[in-house]
Structure 1
Amino acid sequence: MSKPKLGEGVVAAKNVKFGKNVTIWNFVVICDGTTIGDESCIGSFCDIGKNVVIGKNCNIQAHATISNGCRIGNNVFIAPNSSLLNDRYPKSSRLSPPTIEDNAVIGGGVTILPGITVGKDAVVAAGSVVTKDVPPRTVVKGIPAKAAMTWNEYKAKQKKYVSKG
């Protein structure tokens, strides 16, 4: 494993594994047994729990909370102030961390409840609370999060938006 680029005030346990070209911004806490894949970036003030696996080329933005045991695939984007929770009935000893599959997009201020899987290429809109699994290539929004549009509709809107820029 490689040495990451670390910002000010980063606290990382001794047995954290970093891939190549990892960037950790300021005041991040990374707990024991966590692995962060190549080319991933963790924003300021994030809290990464124990035994978390973060894939390659992930972007986890500021103030995100990733609870113990979470699994995050490759090319995942998690916007600021999002939380991946692992304890359905705190303070229990039975943890059920979420899984975020490859290429998923998690909007700002999202809460993902314990045991949830967000499927490959899925999109969770900002401010949503995810209480049920999100199938692959599905776009959800709301409290609780529900299907909002097809993945193809989302990609078309994204393309139109980007082309205006």
Structure 2
Amino acid sequence: MGTIIYADVQIGDFFQTGHYVLIREHCQFGDHVWIGSHSVIDGQVGIGNFVKIAARCYISPQTIIGSRVFIGPGVIITNDKYPLKMRDSYRPAGATLEDNVSVGAGSVILPGVQIGQGAFIAAGSVVTRDVPPMTLAKGNPAVFHELPAKLREKNTALSWKQYLE
């Protein structure tokens, strides 16, 4: 029922996981990172401080996740546009989620996509291209909208408040 952590993983303070979590080699985690049950962090992933990754998420290799990021349940972040094809001319690349990004449940983020600071990805969205900072992306494929004022504040979980003040 425990978490399996491969070798060469760096973990900051106040790290917590649910059960059946798999963390592959060469990952780096900042402080105050929480990973939900049945999630896979599939190696060579960088994660900042104050990050919550909900249950049943898949984070592919070469993904970079900033600080104060929320990733909802069942999110899939991919890294390979052409699985096992064109290896002479193409290399897989993970997505980049900048600081204060929120990703809603069941969303899929395609390889190499950059999600700008403060962006909000609505639940069930499929993100096929870069998302500008402070933008709402929703739909399949995701269409960009102005971020509503109520979603412009920084991500702050109640359990983080004492550490952020």
TM-score (norm 2): 0.86
User: 2-side partners of 1:13 and 1:151: how far apart?
Assistant: 41
SS at 1:41 equivalent: strand
In structure 1, the residue matched to 2:138 is 141
Say if 2:47 is the partner of 1:54: yes
Say if 2:104 is the partner of 1:107: yes
Equivalent positions of 1:6-155 (< 5 A) are: 8-92=1-85, 93=87, 94-152=91-149, 154-155=151-152
What value does the CA root-mean-square deviation take over the aligned residues? 1.4
> Any gaps of 5 or more consecutive residues in structure 1?
1-7, 157-165
Count of paired positions:
149
Post-superposition shift, 1:155? 4.3
SS at 2:149 equivalent: helix
Q: Deviations over 1:16-65 (max 9, x none)?
A: 11100010110001000001110010000001011100110000000000
Is contact 1:85–1:112 with CA below 8 Å preserved after alignment? yes
Inter-CA distance 153–25: structure 2 relative to 1 (3 Å threshold):
closer
SS at 2:123 equivalent: coil
User: 2-side partners of 1:66 and 1:132: how far apart?
Assistant: 17
> Any gaps of 5 or more consecutive residues in structure 2?
154-165
TM superposition outliers: structure 1 runs of 4+ over 4 Å? none
